[in-house]
């Protein structure tokens, strides 16, 4: 576990192995949901094959409907959200703390081969007002490699490019990526592993040039008591964007006391 902390501080991300049983349960819920929609087209019982070869029996025009219906299903399920948290919890305790806020919505990504509609250009989540005090927990439901996955760079390169993005109008984000393309690489991870990374690390994806479909989930966690809306005022706070987890007794007492003071002032 100590190596996880050092790894994260050095690279801005770490790849960890949670309890496989939890990840299997997460994947089974998504598999069952999607399979109901295309049951007549898929007879193989191999779950790995279902996700990896999804493009062979599902139509790309139906992709958004499938993704959004599954997205709605998992985000209405307290069980699913708890499974997600439990998968990452031991590592979050080390990297972030044990009083946490969790993003209220878990995101699902599906990227078929040669799909040009599911692209994310190089970016830092901070560009959209995300907190620098959070981490992204990224769970692949398949093995990811090369253009089937995400690309990352080093904290040093991220810092340099982020500075150019924020303080230089000479280049836009796409131009800066092309200019620094050799400093990025695709991260490799297998199903059974999760990637936890800082939102300040520049990342993104490209057209999937492999012959397999990528399914992945992502959700953000931060220290409950760390600052919100750091770069600009947005909706990324409690209760709009995050929900509290594991609030300790003393924190509850403190919040209740502050609430009482505020009511007296009003």
Chain segment 201-230, per-residue pLDDT in tens: 999 999 999 999 999 999 999 999 988 876
> In the structure, what pLDDT confidence band is assigned to residue 102 with cuts at 50, 70 and 90?
very high
Go through 151-172 and write b for each residue having 16 or more CB atoms within 10 A of its CB, e for each that does not: bbbbbebbebbbebbeeeeeee
pLDDT at 262: 63
Question: What is the rounded CA–CA span in Å between residue 183 and residue 54?
Answer: 32
Considering the chain, what is the average pLDDT of its residues? 90
- Please report which helix (H) or strand (E) contains residue 224, including its range: none
Q: At what angle do helices 63-76 and 20-37 cross, to 10 degrees?
A: 130
Residue 198 has pLDDT above 70, yes or no: yes
| Tens digits of residue pLDDT in 32-73 | 999 888 866 666 778 999 999 999 988 888 899 999 999 999
Question: What is the rounded CA–CA span in Å between residue 157 and residue 153?
Answer: 6
pLDDT at 256: 84
Question: What is the rounded CA–CA span in Å between residue 131 and residue 233?
Answer: 11
Contact partners, residue 22, CB within 8 Å, separation at least 6: 83, 86, 87
CA-to-CA dists, residue 17 to 1, 4, 9, 10, 80, angstroms = 11, 11, 18, 19, 19
Domain boundaries, the chain: 2-265
How many C-beta neighbours within 10 Å does residue 147 have?
18
DSSP 208: -
Q: Estimate to the nearest angstrom the gap between the alpha carbon of 58 and the chain centroid.
A: 24
Average pLDDT over residues 233-255: 85
Contact partners, residue 98, CB within 8 Å, separation at least 6: 246, 248
To which residue do tokens 């050799």 refer? 182
pLDDT at 233: 62
Q: What are phi and psi of 214, to 5 degrees?
A: -100, 130
CB 233 within 8 A of CB 131: no
CB 186 within 8 A of CB 150: yes
| Tens digits of residue pLDDT in 139-190 | 999 999 999 999 999 999 999 998 888 787 778 888 888 899 999 999 999 9
Question: What is the rounded CA–CA span in Å between residue 30 and residue 43?
Answer: 17
pLDDT at 86: 97
Minimal CA–CA distance to 245: which of 126, 88, 139? 88
CB 245 within 8 A of CB 101: yes
pLDDT at 203: 94
Superfamily grouping for domain 2-265: q2cbj1_9rhob like domain (2.60.120.620)
pTM given for the model: 0.91
Residue 7 token pair: 């790894």
Q: Would you call 218 helix, strand, or coil by DSSP?
A: strand
């Amino acid at each position: 576990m100590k190596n996880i902390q050092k790894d994260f501080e050095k690279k801005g991300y770490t790849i960890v192995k949670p309890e496989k049983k939890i990840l299997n349960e997460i994947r089974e819920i998504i598999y069952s949901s999607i399979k109901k929609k295309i049951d007549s087209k898929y007879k193989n019982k191999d779950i790995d094959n279902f996700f990896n070869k999804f493009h062979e029996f599902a139509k790309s025009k139906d992709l958004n409907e499938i993704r959004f219906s599954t997205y709605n299903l998992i985000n209405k399920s307290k069980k699913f959200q708890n499974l997600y948290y439990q998968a990452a919890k031991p590592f979050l305790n080390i990297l972030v703390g044990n009083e946490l806020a969790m993003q209220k919505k878990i995101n699902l990504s599906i990227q078929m081969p040669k799909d040009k509609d599911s692209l994310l250009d190089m970016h830092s989540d901070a560009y959209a007002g995300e907190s620098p005090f959070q981490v992204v927990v990224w769970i692949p439901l398949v093995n990811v490699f090369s253009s089937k996955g995400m690309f990352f760079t080093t904290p040093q390169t991220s810092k340099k490019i982020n500075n150019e993005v924020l303080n230089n109008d000479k280049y836009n984000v796409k131009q800066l990526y092309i200019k620094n393309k050799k400093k990025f690489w695709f991260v490799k991870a297998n199903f059974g592993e999760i990637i936890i990374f800082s939102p300040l690390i520049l990342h993104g994806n490209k057209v999937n040039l492999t012959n397999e479909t990528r399914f992945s989930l992502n959700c953000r966690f931060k220290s409950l008591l760390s600052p919100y809306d750091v770069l600009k005022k947005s909706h990324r706070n409690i209760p709009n964007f995050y929900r509290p987890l594991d609030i300790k007794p003393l924190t509850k007492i403190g919040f209740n006391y502050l609430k009482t003071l505020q009511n007296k002032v009003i």
